[in-house]
Chain A
Amino acid sequence: METTDLIFRIILIVIIFAISLVVAMYSTYAERKVAAFFQDRIGPNRAGPWGILQPLADGGKMFLKEEIIPTNATPFLFIVGPSLAILTACIGSAVIPWGQKMIIGGHTFDLQVTDINVGVLYIFGVVSLGVYGVMIGGWASNNKYSLLGAIRAASQNISYEISMGLSIIALLMLTNTLSLREIAEQQHGWHWNVLRQPLGFVLFIVCAFAETNRTPFDLPECETELVGGYHTEYSSMKLGFYLFAEYINMFISSAVMATLYWGGYNYPGMDWVAAHTGPALGPLIGVGVFFLKIFLFIFFFMWVRWTIPRFRYDQLMDLGWKILIPLAIANIVLTGLVSTALTHFGF
């Protein structure tokens, strides 16, 4: 690896890390604003113009609050829980292709931290590690309600991971690759996978809602039934990390959905734009389009939150096991039949 390439990679890692933190920070603000607009209110508007300093104020509050570690908690695990949650949320961004390859002064810069050929598997592995943060947090609190909340959260995450994995298999049958870069490249222009896999996308987005613990599947933090769920005993920034991890997860899963199904950085007419703007600026426009898609998905997450009420726990499990998994399997069979028919009979 060349030195310039190495330096570029390090800069890219720092930038992506900063971006995902800032996006998560401002998602909390956006969530409050969006919630306000959906409820005919104004929302935070006191800290700075239009309240844009609100996340900083919230962060400051989180840091300055008293930090409590319960007497009977396991101190080490108690701290590891939220750290794991935020770590697993952050490292998912490593394989996401943020844009096309950029060419500046003869050098090719890859707008992706690392293009591993098992990118999809990596994402799934990281996402499933997120359960540990929740589970350890609930266990280390030494509080039976936290533990119950953690078990609920863990079983929900595991159940929905199955149908998520199954829904992605149908997509992989079409793409024949696990590399996110290649999947994004295959959707060049407007050949977006959502057009070939509409059912798969619906299944995937439902599972993504459950995986990120967003409404209507936000049962891990059901105040009315479980005090606070797995993070009942947490205070100050350790609680903040759990909440923050949720927003980073939302950002990463939006990026994954945009990459897998909605064409990533591709948009109709991109070749024409690239030819007119050059090999350095063209990919940057693609990055802008990619972020636009991500923000639309984040907005969709919030939109759904203020529309659909929370599921009951048994309904949640019913939906996951009795509906989504059979549908995902049917989707696989359907995809196999159609693609075989297409290749063999040449329709």
Chain B
Amino acid sequence: MESLSNKKKVLEVKPLNFLERAYLPAIMGGLATTMKHFFKKPVTISYPEEKREFSENFRGMHSLKRDENGKERCTACGLCALSCPAEAITMTAAERQPGEEHLYREEKYAAVYEINMLRCIFCGLCEEACPKEAIYLDGDIVPADYLRKDFIYGKDKLVEAPLNQ
């Protein structure tokens, strides 16, 4: 039958000729191939000294952002926690008191904001769900630790550093 794609190749199994059966020419070809690699530039990245750049859309550790005046953007609406398929995010909301206007952008803010890094699957849905552009997964790889409790990251680890420090 005529092949539709016209890409079909019929494999012919021919008996090997003498040179092919003697192996040696094929071995020479192999040796030439490896020798070509001998003079290639190594692709190694010497890790602790050199680090490879992450790609643009790499999703690493979360960070809670501040606005241009250094106020926390998060309003503890809970949409990130709701969108999280792994249920890694929990938070407690609190009301902004007078005199705290320079700390929080809106009347409501997250008094406690915790992400369990052992549960997080770095899907980025929290990032997408956030209406205030407060959470981004733009950090580094989450570092290793010895105790499970140390993987629950609070605001101390998540919130961006203040603007003018």
**How far, in whole Å, are A40 and B43 apart by their CA atoms in the complex?**
6
For A41, list chain B residues within 8 Å (CB). 42-44
Q: Mark B21-38, 1 if CB is under 8 A from A, else 0.
A: 000100100110111011
Is A3 close to B, CB under 8 A? Answer: no
Segment of A65-73, A110-118, A229-237, A299-307 in the binding face: A299-307
Specify the chain A residue showing the minimal Cβ separation from B40. A40
How many of chain A's residues touch chain B, expressed as a range?
10 to 19
**How far, in whole Å, are A89 and B44 apart by their CA atoms in the complex?**
36
For B31, list chain A residues within 8 Å (CB). 303-304, 307
Set B30, B43, B44, B46: member contacting A308, Cβ < 8 A: B30
Is A121 close to B, CB under 8 A? Answer: no
**B34-A42 in contact (CB<8A):** no
Q: Mark B74-113, 1 if CB is under 8 A from A, else 0.
A: 0000000000000000000000000000000000000000
User: Taking beta carbons and an 8 Å cutoff, which residues of A are in contact with B?
Assistant: 34, 36-42, 45, 202, 303-304, 306-308
Specify the chain B residue showing the minimal Cβ separation from A306. B34
| Minimum C-beta distance from A199 to chain B (A) | 11
**B42-A40 in contact (CB<8A):** yes
| Minimum C-beta distance from A305 to chain B (A) | 10
**A202-B24 in contact (CB<8A):** yes
**How far, in whole Å, are A306 and B37 apart by their CA atoms in the complex?**
11
Question: Can you name 10 extra interface pairs (CB under 8 A) apart from A41-B44, A45-B46, A307-B30?
Answer: A36-B42, A38-B38, A39-B37, A40-B44, A41-B42, A41-B43, A42-B42, A42-B46, A304-B27, A307-B34
For B35, list chain A residues within 8 Å (CB). 303
**How far, in whole Å, are A41 and B42 apart by their CA atoms in the complex?**
5
Is B41 close to A, CB under 8 A? Answer: yes
**How far, in whole Å, are A307 and B33 apart by their CA atoms in the complex?**
8
**How far, in whole Å, are A34 and B37 apart by their CA atoms in the complex?**
11
For B44, list chain A residues within 8 Å (CB). 40-42
**How far, in whole Å, are A38 and B43 apart by their CA atoms in the complex?**
12
| Minimum C-beta distance from A14 to chain B (A) | 35
Closest 6 CB pairs of A and B: A307-B30, A42-B44, A307-B34, A42-B42, A37-B38, A40-B43
For A37, list chain B residues within 8 Å (CB). 37-38, 42
For A303, list chain B residues within 8 Å (CB). 31, 34-35
**How far, in whole Å, are A40 and B33 apart by their CA atoms in the complex?**
12
| Minimum C-beta distance from B89 to chain A (A) | 41
**How far, in whole Å, are A172 and B46 apart by their CA atoms in the complex?**
52
For A42, list chain B residues within 8 Å (CB). 42, 44, 46
**How far, in whole Å, are A42 and B34 apart by their CA atoms in the complex?**
15
| Minimum C-beta distance from A318 to chain B (A) | 12
| Minimum C-beta distance from A309 to chain B (A) | 9
For A38, list chain B residues within 8 Å (CB). 34, 37-38
Specify the chain A residue showing the minimal Cβ separation from B29. A307
For B46, list chain A residues within 8 Å (CB). 42, 45
**How far, in whole Å, are A39 and B31 apart by their CA atoms in the complex?**
13
**B37-A308 in contact (CB<8A):** no
| Minimum C-beta distance from B19 to chain A (A) | 14
**How far, in whole Å, are A45 and B27 apart by their CA atoms in the complex?**
31
9 pairs, CB–CB < 8 Å, chain A vs chain B = A38-B37, A38-B38, A40-B37, A303-B31, A304-B27, A307-B27, A307-B31, A307-B33, A307-B34
**How far, in whole Å, are A45 and B48 apart by their CA atoms in the complex?**
13
| Minimum C-beta distance from B123 to chain A (A) | 34
**How far, in whole Å, are A308 and B37 apart by their CA atoms in the complex?**
15
**Most B Cβ at <10 Å: residue of A303, A306, A307:** A307
**How far, in whole Å, are A41 and B44 apart by their CA atoms in the complex?**
5
| Minimum C-beta distance from B143 to chain A (A) | 23
Specify the chain A residue showing the minimal Cβ separation from B37. A38
**How far, in whole Å, are A37 and B24 apart by their CA atoms in the complex?**
24
**How far, in whole Å, are A89 and B59 apart by their CA atoms in the complex?**
56
**How far, in whole Å, are A202 and B22 apart by their CA atoms in the complex?**
12
For B40, list chain A residues within 8 Å (CB). 40
